[in-house]
Chain A
Amino acid sequence: MQKNDVVIIGAGPAGLSAAIQCRENGLSVTVLDEFPKPGGRLLGQLHEEPSGEWWNGIKETNSLLEKAEKNNTTIKCGVSVHHVETLENHFVVHTNKGYFAADNVLIATGAAESAAPIPGWTLPGVMSIGAAQVMTNVHRVSVGEKGIVAGVNVLSAAITRELQLAGIDVVGMALPSRNIVSEDQANPREVMERMVRIAHLAPSKFIQFGSKFATFKFVQNLALQFFPKGGIKMWDMPIHLRKAIKEINGTDKVESVTMVDVTMDGDIIRGTEETISVDFVCIAGGLYPLAELAAVVGCPFQYSEELGGHVPIHSEAMETPIEGIFVAGNITGIESAKVAREQGTVAGLSIAKKVTGNKEIDSKLQDAITNVKATRNAATIQFHPRIDEGRAKISQAFNEIS
């Protein structure tokens, strides 16, 4: 078994950027990904920046791949990693296509979608919002004729817009009905607070108004109280914060949903049921860091609501307390692909510095760390308003350990 300087798990923006840095510094690198093509979830992304330019995930992926190919980077797709074994002086990555030995491992596995189960959610035609994104923009297959989105958040708003662009009829977005799992996602107050953060993406004057003042709790309450019965229109499609999807109906596939009015706290108002016929439903429960492999290899974790869940403790240079194990991208907290890409550069430089011992890399590494912060501050889509607090918490935890 040939030993690599580094095996990178995940060929998304973080993994590919890291691979490019490692290759530029002459390291032997193998990138593994279980999806048939490289790019990770960057592939499906498509949104208009405030500047009017389009962020096209396929183009962004291709530009990363060009750089990686120029440096002869080995990228293996269709490879699922299920274990990272720690031996005396190196690691062995276990996959469905054999074993890969490496002195260093970068875990850049990204994020997974949280479930927001609704009765009927196992029917064919119900899928996560991310599933619809991949089907639409990557495979270019329509997920249905007419659908509805359950869950109002940054991600679902962006992807719903993508479905519309592809000519798919989305009748609206509403909350999932409240249950033990959906909790916050079913609470109009919580959802309103979060939606305020993407207000600049909405043409509606109402939401723009909200974006200025709605950081004050009482304004949000006021807005919710007078939330229009027909929802707020964004891109000609109603967004409902006072309606919830109570049930998904159908025998062998989705045929309709039952929608109900809810109070400001998400309680169902009796007798308000209405049936809306649809052939697909997208459930949007938000994202959490996909961190099982970091746990398997023994990384200590820290919970951060700001970062989307349990995150492997790491430094600003993307090292974990376990020597030779690095992390980058959404596994370190839910943020935009641009941030993930810059984090990948940091991780790549950190690994190159460790392997080569080249002192000249240090200044590049410091610049890259600065870039991560600059990219974060300039982000169009912010998944949580207190990202910085979450990041500080993780850095502090790292310093306490090492």
Chain B
Amino acid sequence: MTTKRIVNHPVLGELDKQEKVTFQFDGNTYEGYENDTIASALLANGIRTLRKHEETGNPRGIYCNIGHCYECRVTVDGASNIRACLTPIKANMVVESGKVQPSPLDPSNEGELPKTYAEFKRREEQQKNAKK
């Protein structure tokens, strides 16, 4: 399946035989071992990028690998913001990488909404006058 496993280790010994588990990531099927986390199973398959930064779209992967930094957040079976480094894989689990979100600070998303209360009142006034 993969060459990224550390199978032989001079002190820790040979890697125990473990059950294989099949799961999905962004629509593709991957195999991992039963004790893998989402992060370790994906890295064993050569996948480092777990999400795109919500605003900039920059690629992100694991950073701390023990649940502190939240850099590895993914969507698991529909639940968002799950830490890939702490979540064990399960058979048929559907994992999706984090995606770019529409930015509330991007001027092109603002549309026609008033920016201040004064502006809102002014427009309301204008609409009233227009109806008359």
Query: Looking at the complex, which one of B4, B8, B64 makes contact with A141 (CB distance below 8 Å)?
Result: B4
Which residues of A135-163 are within 8 A (CB) of B? Answer: 135-137, 139-143
Bound CA span A358–B79, Å: 48
Q: Are B48 and A136 in contact, CB atoms less than 8 angstroms apart?
A: no
From DSSP, what is the main secondary structure of chain B's interface residues? Answer: loop
Which of A112, A123, A139 touches B36 (beta carbons < 8 Å)?
Answer: A139
* Segment among A66-74, A126-134, A229-237 that sits at the interface with chain B: A126-134
Segment touching A, from B54-62, B100-108, B109-117, B122-130: B54-62
In the docked arrangement, what's the CA distance between A167 and B67, Å?
26
Q: Tell me the smallest distance from the CB of B10 to a CB of chain A, in Å.
A: 6
Chain B nearest CB from A280 CB (Å) reads 9
Residue B37 at the A interface, CB < 8 A?
yes
Kindly identify, within residues 74 to 110 of chain A, every residue whose CB is under 8 Å from any CB belonging to chain B. 78, 80
Once the chains bind, are A141 and B86 in contact (CB under 8 Å)? no
B22 CB–A CB distance under 8 Å: no
Interface residues in B, total, Cβ within 8 A: 37
**B37 partner, pick from A36, A46, A113, A128, beta carbons under 8 A:** A36
Q: B86 near A78 (CB under 8 angstroms)?
A: yes
Tell me if B64 and A253 are in contact (CB < 8 A). no
Q: How far is the CA of A36 from the CA of B64 in the complex (A)?
A: 15
- Residues of B43-58 at the interface with A, using a CB-CB cut-off of 8 Å, are 43-44, 48-50, 53, 58
Report the minimum CB–CB distance from A317 to chain B (whole Å). Answer: 29
A interface residues (Cβ-Cβ under 8 A, vs B): 34-37, 41, 46, 54, 56, 58, 78, 80, 112-113, 122-128, 130-132, 134-137, 139-143, 165-167, 252-253, 290
B interface list, Cβ under 8 A from A: 4-12, 15, 35-37, 40, 43-44, 48-50, 53, 58-69, 71, 85-88
Closest CB pairs A-B (n = 8): A124-B61, A131-B65, A139-B40, A124-B48, A140-B6, A141-B44, A124-B49, A36-B88
